[in-house]
Amino acid sequence: MQEAKSKGLPECPKTNSSTVTSAIRYINDLFKDNADGHDRDHSLRVYHNAMNLSNSYPKCDRMIVALAALLHDADDHKLFHTENNANARSFLGGQGLDEIMIEQIIMIINEVSFSKNRGKKPGSIEGMIVQDADRLDALGAVGIARTFAYGGKNGRAMEESIQHFHDKLLLLRDEMNTPEARETADKRHAFLEAFLNEWNEETAG
C-alpha cells in the first residue's frame, strides 16, 4: 500500500492478538457449513484487506478495524435471522470490551452492506477501511467466483448472476473511500470487464 496522502482522511493502537484470534475461531464455527461466498474465507480476506489498508492510516484504531472486518457478516440477513447484531454482540460482549468500543464496531458493521448504504459514506476512517475491504472482495477473480457460488446455492441462473455484475460489482470501484483501495479496485474492475467481454463473445447468438 502507498503512504497515506488522501484528502480529508485521517491517518489509523496495535490489535490485541488474543481477541482477534478468538474472533477468527468464532467465525470458523459460525460459517462452518456455509459455501455461498459469504464464508469464513471471505471474512478472513476482508480482515486481511482491512489490515493492509489500515497500514496507511497509523492513527486509526486497528482493533476496531480488525473486529469489525472479521464480524461484518456475523448477522448478515442473507445468512442469519438475528436482530440487533445479536451474533456480533454476543461475541464482543464476552471479550471484556467496553460498551463504547462495542457500539463503534457494531456501527461499522452496519455501514458495510452495499444494498443498505448506497450513496452513504461511513462516519469514521475505520468504517471507510472496513467497507472498502469488503467491497474489494467482491471484485476481481474472487468476486466472480463468489457471485456464481452464491447464485448456484440460491438457484440463480447464470444470466441472473451476470446481471449482478451490472447491478453491483461494476459500481464498486467508484464508491471506494480510500485511494489505496481505489488503486486495487482499478485492477480488479478491469478483470471483471475482461470476463464480461469474454462471456459476451462466448454467448453471442
Residue 4 pLDDT grade (very low, low, confident, very high; cuts 50, 70, 90): very low
In a domain, 12, yes or no: no
> pLDDT of 121-174, one tens digit each?
999 999 999 999 999 999 999 999 999 999 998 899 999 999 999 999 999 999
In a domain, 144, yes or no: yes
The whole-number average pLDDT for the span 3-31 is 72
Closest CA to 57 of 120, 2, 108: 2
At 122, which CATH number?
1.10.3210.10
pLDDT of residue 5: 43
- Total domains present in the chain: 1
In a domain, 23, yes or no: yes
Residue 198 pLDDT grade (very low, low, confident, very high; cuts 50, 70, 90): very high
pLDDT of residue 77: 86
- Cα separation, 42 vs 18, in Å, equals 21
In a domain, 1, yes or no: no
In a domain, 78, yes or no: yes
Per-residue cell: 45: 480476506
The whole-number average pLDDT for the span 63-79 is 94
User: What is the domain range of residue 83?
Assistant: 17-203
pLDDT of residue 80: 87
In a domain, 10, yes or no: no
Please, which residues have CB within 8 angstroms of residue 86's CB and are 6 or more apart in sequence? 75
In a domain, 21, yes or no: yes
Residue 37 pLDDT grade (very low, low, confident, very high; cuts 50, 70, 90): confident
> pLDDT of 100-123, one tens digit each?
999 999 999 999 988 777 778 999
In a domain, 6, yes or no: no
pTM here is 0.90
CB 128 within 8 A of CB 119: no
Cα distances from 12 to residues 104, 126, 138, in angstroms, run 15, 8, 24
pLDDT of residue 119: 77
